[in-house]
Each structure stands twice: as C-alpha cells, then as structure tokens.
Amino acid sequence: MERITWDQFFMAQSHLLAIRSTCTRLSVGATIVRDKRIIAGGYNGSISGDDHCIDKGCYVVDNHCVRTVHAETNALLQCAKYGTPTNGADLYVTHFPCLPCTKSIIQAGIQNLYYATDYKNNEYAIELLRQAGVNVLHVPFDERKIDFLSDEKLQLYVQLINELREKGATPEELAPYEQKVTELFGKTTLKTN
C-alpha cells in the first residue's frame, strides 16, 4: 500500500466523519487542520439531544432540512466550544459548502478550503470566497488510496480472471472484467499467469 498525500489523508478523515452523519439526504464530513494537525471535525446531523433524520425523517422547509447542522458549521462550533482558534486554518470537506457555511468559513478566518465533490456550487459563495482571499482547491478523493485490502482483492480478481482464461474464456469475454479491475484498482495492466 502506497503512502497517501496529506490532502488525501485529511480528505479521508472527512469522508470517515461523513459516515457518522445522521442525514438521510446527503452525508457530509469536515475536518479543520492547522500545521498538518487535525484540530476539529464535524458531520451533518441534529443538534445534541434532538431527533435525528435517520430516526424521525428530515424536517424540510424550503427544500432544506432544518433539523441538521452542517458538517462545516459543526466543526467550526467544536473549535468555538473548546476555545481552539480557526484563523489561518485549513478546512477539508467532502462537498462544496453551501452559502451559509461559506459565510461561516470566511468569518472564522479559514485560509484554505479543500473540497472533494462539487455540490450545487453557489456562484455567490464562490465570489465571497474569492473576495475574502480564501484559497479554494478541488481535491478529488480517491477511495482506492485507503482500501486496506486492495492488494488482496486485486490478487483474488486476477486469480479468478486467470481461472476463467484457463477454462476457455475468450479475450473478448474477459475484456470487460479486466477493464473493471483496472478501473477499480488504478492499475494499467493486470499481472496474469
């Protein structure tokens, strides 16, 4: 397994946090970082002690669930709660922030915003980030980089393809499987017998 970059490491943390989300519409995670150290994290979910969307359903007003606090805001509030400064910090988030979160990010003094997935990118949010001098970087997240069993899975798939080949499968029949393995593992060629 190869060593991942810092950006992929912090983005992986944000994706891990998103798994804790209690929102049934979209799972989002956010990680605040200073000097290559995680200082806070958040995911979108209900406030402490309130009903969760996964239990009671979303409470939608004007096409937005008002039951949840967004991941970015939760991470920023965690810093506020424990007295951790955010000025000059970096924020890694699984999806491009909404307009209200963008405003909070700017007001908190976040210097660099890294996001993995475009999501209803608001033009005004983009303009506000530009005006505030926040560096915005799209960092696509590569799940293959954190698959702890990728080598074993690849070996199994290659073994199965080789067994199909030995049983008389034609190159044309095997091609779609080999292509899918290449896509899943990012390998340009498969090692075969």
Give catalytic residues, as residue numbers.
Answer: 72
3-state helix, strand, coil in the chain (%, to 5): 45, 20, 35
What is the Cα–Cα distance from 95 to 141, expressed in whole angstroms?
11
What is the Cα–Cα distance from 48 to 27, expressed in whole angstroms?
17
Q: Closest Cα to residue 14, out of 120, 113, 121?
A: 113
Helix (H, G, I), strand (E, B) or coil at 113: strand
119: left (phi over 0), alpha (psi -120 to 50) or beta: beta
What is the Cα–Cα distance from 112 to 115, expressed in whole angstroms?
10
Is the CB of residue 146 less than 8 Å from the CB of residue 177? no
What is the Cα–Cα distance from 99 to 102, expressed in whole angstroms?
5
Q: If you ran DSSP here, which 8-state letter would residue 168 be given? A: T
The amino acid present at 166, given as its one-letter code, is E
